[in-house]
């Protein structure tokens, strides 16, 4: 039996080329079979198709590279919830740019691991260059810094960990009810006291409510604010919250996983005023940044704030190696083995430039506003509010909450559309999270037509 070829080395590219043709063909045929934003039939039907098509997960004898790729990739694409379909708009789950996916392929082929320099010489240098540039975009300070993470959850956990290391295990975390669920979960994981959750009846954290809470809460305190909630994409009043925190001597972390990339758009950047007053920031480029998962970021205004993450393992960052000039990478993450996600991000930024990235952001935000206009003018729908970023909450006027929930599940089961759900003002709403810059006005008309047909029959 011949030894299978490798993806790297002098012959790696030649070995990959025919396999990639098989993969691309399977992606195309699978998408054609699906014919919509997700497979019809619901979970049981999809699972049965996968089991029937694949048979044994570990067969006694292999089928060969091309058959295995053709079968599995076709099945994956046919059964995907495809965020590149304009009617797949439920979650903060973006369609990745082709250039970013292509860069990620190279990473998979070369397989660098960013736990020691001798596993990733160029990739580690690229990551350092990229994180310094992104940190400088977020913080106008002498020595800002940033770490790449798997997303907002890891970045938020790191922010609370750094706060705990500065202030000890009695640190109290205060956040609004609109905060991401990873905040209280991170406090639990880190052995911190239960978080103090403040009500957010309007969807954002009220500075007066925060002021009263901090007056009654002994320090030390870390306040977490949100720039882009998962339910409606709302942004807390960051300057006023920063003022309250400063008055009480509390530190501020801002979870801008969703909204943080607005900073790259001159048109939308003013929505993030006050962002640079945070002691730490979370930002995701696999949301409104069009990167394949994962592409998260934790940024701080001074690299010294990351010092508690320093860690030593002699086989990875021996003291004499570090003193001799080999970069110490272990303090750049809580993970050991990790992919150089900087490569796809840096490739995208180089390809698009500032103006290209701003164009995508502005275009996607404009599409959300156009959907809001259509729904607001339609007698059959109620719009919750104008979108702050790209999330639109709405509901059919004849439907109660139970009917609305059933409608959403019916659309999923039929494979017609993927819409999210959110509760606001005590009612359930359909949620369209628009992240696809290729979505057209015709696509929005199609979505509304599908909903009209379901709600008016």
pLDDT of res. 455: 61
Note whether 263 and 275 are within 8 A (CB): yes
Place of tokens 């609370």: 160
Please state whether 64 falls in left (phi above 0), alpha (psi between -120 and 50) or beta.
left
Beta strand extents in 150-212 (DSSP E only): 172-176, 196-198
pLDDT of res. 1: 78
Tell me the three state secondary structure of residue 274: coil
Radius of gyration of the CA atoms of the chain, in A: 24
d(CA 441, CA 424): 27
d(CA 353, CA 337): 30
Full-prediction pTM beyond 0.85? yes
Query: pLDDT tens, 183-194?
Result: 999 999 999 999
H or E, element range at 221: strand 221-226
Note whether 73 and 29 are within 8 A (CB): no
Query: pLDDT tens, 354-365?
Result: 999 999 999 999
Spans of the chain below 50 pLDDT = 456-457
d(CA 271, CA 232): 15
Q: Which long-range contacts (CB under 8 A, 24 or more apart) does 319-327 make?
A: 326/116, 326/117, 326/118, 327/117, 327/124, 327/128
Q: What is the DSSP letter of 58?
A: S
Query: pLDDT tens, 62-101?
Result: 999 999 999 999 999 999 999 999 999 999 999 999 999 9
pLDDT of res. 457: 42
d(CA 368, CA 349): 24
pLDDT of res. 219: 87
Note whether 145 and 135 are within 8 A (CB): yes
d(CA 203, CA 61): 56
Strand order in the sheet with 88-89: 88-89, 418-424, 427-433, 391-396, 381-383
pLDDT of res. 125: 98
């Amino acid at each position: 039996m011949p030894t299978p070829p490798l993806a790297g080395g002098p012959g790696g590219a030649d070995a990959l080329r025919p396999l990639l043709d098989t993969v691309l063909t399977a992606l195309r045929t699978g998408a054609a079979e699906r014919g919509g934003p997700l497979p019809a039939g619901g979970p049981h039907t999809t699972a049965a198709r996968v089991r029937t098509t694949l048979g044994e997960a570990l067969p006694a004898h292999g089928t060969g590279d091309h058959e295995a790729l053709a079968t599995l990739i076709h099945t994956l694409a046919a059964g995907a919830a495809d965020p590149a379909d304009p009617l797949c708009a439920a979650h903060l789950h973006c369609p990745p740019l082709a250039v970013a996916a292509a860069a990620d392929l190279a990473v998979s082929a070369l397989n660098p691991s960013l736990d020691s320099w001798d596993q990733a010489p160029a990739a580690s240098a690229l990551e350092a260059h990229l994180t310094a540039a992104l940190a400088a975009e977020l913080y106008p300070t002498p020595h800002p810094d940033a770490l790449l993470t798997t997303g907002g959850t890891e970045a938020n956990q790191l922010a609370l960990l750094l706060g705990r290391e500065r202030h000890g295990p009695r640190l109290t975390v205060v956040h609004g009810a609109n905060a991401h669920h990873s905040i209280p979960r991170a406090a639990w994981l880190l052995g911190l006291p239960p978080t103090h959750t403040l009500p957010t009846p309007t969807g954002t954290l009220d500075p007066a409510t925060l002021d009263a809470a901090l007056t009654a809460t002994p320090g030390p305190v870390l306040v977490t604010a949100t720039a882009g909630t998962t339910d409606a994409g709302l942004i807390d009043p960051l300057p006023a919250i920063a003022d309250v925190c400063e008055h009480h001597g509390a530190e501020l972390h801002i979870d801008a996983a969703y909204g943080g990339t607005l900073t790259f758009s001159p048109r939308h950047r003013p929505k993030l005023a006050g962002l640079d007053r945070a002691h730490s920031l979370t930002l995701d480029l696999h949301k409104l940044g069009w990167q394949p998962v994962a592409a998260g970021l934790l940024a701080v205004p001074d690299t010294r704030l990351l010092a508690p993450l320093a860690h030593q393992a002699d086989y990875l960052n021996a003291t004499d190696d570090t003193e001799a000039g080999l970069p110490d990478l272990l303090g750049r993450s809580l993970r050991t083995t990790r992919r150089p996600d900087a490569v796809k991000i840096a490739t995208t930024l180089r390809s698009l430039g500032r103006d290209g990235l701003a164009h995508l952001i502005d275009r996607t935000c404009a599409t959300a506003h156009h959907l809001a206009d259509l729904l607001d003018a339609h007698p059959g729908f109620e719009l919750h509010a104008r979108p702050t970023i790209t999330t639109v909450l709405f509901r059919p006027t004849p439907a109660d909450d139970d009917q609305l929930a059933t409608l959403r599940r019916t659309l999923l089961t039929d494979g017609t559309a993927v819409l999210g759900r959110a509760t606001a003002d005590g009612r359930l709403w359909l949620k369209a999270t628009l992240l696809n810059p290729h979505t057209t006005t015709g696509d929005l008309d199609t979505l509304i037509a599908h909903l009209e047909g379901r709600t008016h029959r």
